[in-house]
Amino acid sequence: MIRTKPFRDRIAATAGDELNYRLTNHIPRRLASIWIGHISRSENPLVRTVALWLWRRFSALDLFDAETTRFRSMHECFTRRLRPGTRPLDRDPDVLTSPCDAIVGTFGRIEGGRALQVKGMDYALAELLGDGRDAEALEGGTFVTLRLTSAMYHRFHAPYDCRVIRVRHIFGDRWNVNPPTLRRVRRLFCRNERVVVETVLPDGRAVTLVAVAAILVSGIRLGFMTLREGRRPLRDVVKCDLAFQKGDELGWFEHGSTIIVLGRPGLAVIETLQPGDRIRMGQKLLRLSHPYPGSR
């Protein structure tokens, strides 16, 4: 009898995961994303009110720190800005901060050119990044997976003073990126549309942010560059040299999704961080080692 309740809880959780997976993935993902995108941008008062009510009903949406709580559309709420001071930055010069609000997923050392999607399921960084040479340069470095839920603040920021040197836009699918799907769909991050933002820190260390789109609205936007829309398999590579300071806004998602932070050797995950932890933009994520292994 003592084991009955935990067993039933596990069965219920498994059934819930299965239902979640089927409802969000066994549909025309691209058409669903386009349809929800149109609804989210509608400024019709009735459509906006119903959409926001449903969103609040089925998510933990909290607008306490939002710049405003009056929105012309659900899209405005998705991409909302925050009141100044609600995301204080960790100013420690040895720390890279989280680029976004998120739930911490898998993290660890990059070995054999691979990173973990979930325990027991990995993927090749060469496929994720669309460039084998970039993947090779990350060997022995660190990866951290940050999952944004639909209710979270959707903008992402520079984790450190840096220069953005290249952006690669890779078109792809729109699988959900929630845990039930991550456990079932191999190489999911390599299948979805994504934007690879390559940065260099002042001491020469390279840090790459991979913004991965997901089902429903799914769009990724950069504040410093217009990304090309498209449906066919295509990879746009744009070289640039743009300076950002820690905490400067880089872009935003138009729905919840994922950011994968990749660093070359010389970066380590903050010791107290655990998978499943909630982290906010501006809080400690990675620590710099000294001296930098790649310096001379």
Q: Which of 75, 154, 157, 255 is catalytic?
A: 157
The domain in which residue 72 lies consists of 4-78
Asked whether residue 196 falls in the same domain as residue 282, the answer is: yes
The answer to whether position 10 is within a domain reads yes
Q: Which of 73, 75, 101, 255 is catalytic?
A: 101
Q: What is the pLDDT of residue 25?
A: 58
Asked whether residue 201 falls in the same domain as residue 124, the answer is: yes
Count of Cβ atoms closer than 10 Å to residue 177 Cβ: 26
Q: Which residues contact 130 (CB under 8 A, 6 or more apart)?
A: 168, 170, 196, 235
- Mean pLDDT, the chain, whole residue set: 85
Q: What is the pLDDT of residue 248?
A: 98
Asked whether residue 72 falls in the same domain as residue 105, the answer is: no
Among 222, 206, 186, smallest CA distance to 133 is for 206
Residue 9: both structure tokens together: 């809880």
| Contact by Cβ (8 Å): 59, 150 | yes
Query: What mean pLDDT comes out for the span 25-52?
Result: 71
Q: What is the pLDDT of residue 8?
A: 41
Q: Is 161 a catalytic residue?
A: no
pLDDT at 280 exceeding the cut of 60: yes
The answer to whether position 155 is within a domain reads yes
The answer to whether position 164 is within a domain reads yes
Asked whether residue 19 falls in the same domain as residue 63, the answer is: yes
Least confident range of 36-45, 49-58, 225-234: 225-234
Helix extents (H) in 97-160? 125-129, 132-137
Question: How many folded domains does the chain comprise?
Answer: 2
From 78, 111, 126, the end of a domain falls on: 78
The answer to whether position 90 is within a domain reads no
Asked whether residue 214 falls in the same domain as residue 280, the answer is: yes
The answer to whether position 125 is within a domain reads yes
Q: Which residues contact 143 (CB under 8 A, 6 or more apart)?
A: 106, 107, 108, 109, 110, 115, 116, 125, 260, 261, 262, 263
The answer to whether position 86 is within a domain reads no
The answer to whether position 294 is within a domain reads no
Asked whether residue 270 falls in the same domain as residue 214, the answer is: yes
pLDDT digits (tens, 9 = 90+) for 58-85: 777 888 899 998 889 888 888 899 999 9
CATH number at residue 205: 2.70.70
Q: Could you tell me if residue 112 is left (phi over 0), alpha (psi between -120 and 50 degrees) or otherwise beta?
A: left
Least confident range of 54-58, 202-206, 265-269, 276-280: 54-58
Q: Is 101 a catalytic residue?
A: yes
Asked whether residue 9 falls in the same domain as residue 105, the answer is: no
Asked whether residue 205 falls in the same domain as residue 256, the answer is: yes
Asked whether residue 138 falls in the same domain as residue 259, the answer is: yes
pLDDT at 231 exceeding the cut of 70: no
The answer to whether position 36 is within a domain reads yes
pLDDT digits (tens, 9 = 90+) for 76-126: 888 899 999 999 999 999 999 999 999 999 999 999 999 999 989 999 999
- Percent of the chain whose pLDDT exceeds 70: 82
Asked whether residue 213 falls in the same domain as residue 73, the answer is: no
Asked whether residue 253 falls in the same domain as residue 280, the answer is: yes
Of 226 and 137, more confident: 137
Asked whether residue 193 falls in the same domain as residue 258, the answer is: yes
Q: What is the pLDDT of residue 232?
A: 53
From 78, 103, 120, the end of a domain falls on: 78
From 26, 48, 78, the end of a domain falls on: 78
